[in-house]
Structure 1
Amino acid sequence: MRIGELADRTGVSVRALRYYEEQDLLSPERSPSGQRQYPDSAVERVRLIQQLYTAGLSSRVIVSLLPCVVDGDATPELLDRLAAERDRIDGQVAELVSTRNRLDSVITGATENLRTGRPCPARAGPAA
Structure 2
Amino acid sequence: MRIGELAERAGTTTRALRYYESRGLLPARRDAQGHRTYDERDLRLLRQIRTLKDFGFELEETRPFVECLRAGHPEGDLCPASLVVYRRKLDELDALIGELTAVRTQVGAQLARAERERAELAAEAEVPGGPEPVCELGRGGRP
| TM above 0.5 | yes
Question: Quick one: which amino acid aligns to residue 26 of structure 1?
Answer: L
Q: Give 5+ residue unaligned stretches, structure 2.
A: 120-143
Q: How does 1:1-128 map to 2 (within 5 A)?
A: 1-27=1-27, 29-50=29-50, 51=52, 54-56=56-58, 58=60, 62=63, 64-69=64-69, 71-72=72-73, 79=80, 81-116=81-116, 117=118
Q: Which has the higher contact order (CA 8 A, sep 6+)?
A: 1
1:56-108, Cα deviation, whole Å (9 max, x unpaired): 4627x71x5434245228xxxx62x3333222112101111112212321332
Determine which structure has more spread, i.e. the larger CA radius of gyration. Answer: 2
Q: Is the 8 A contact 2:49 2:59 kept in 1?
A: no
Under a length normalisation based on structure 2, what TM-score does the superposition of the two structures give? 0.54
Query: Which residue is 2:123 aligned to?
Result: none
Under a length normalisation based on structure 1, what TM-score does the superposition of the two structures give? 0.59
Aligned mates of 1:66, 1:10 — CA distance in 2:
15
Q: Give 5+ residue unaligned stretches, structure 1.
A: 119-128
The 3 A distance-change label for structure 1 pair 33 and 69 is: closer
Percent of matched pairs sharing the same residue? 25
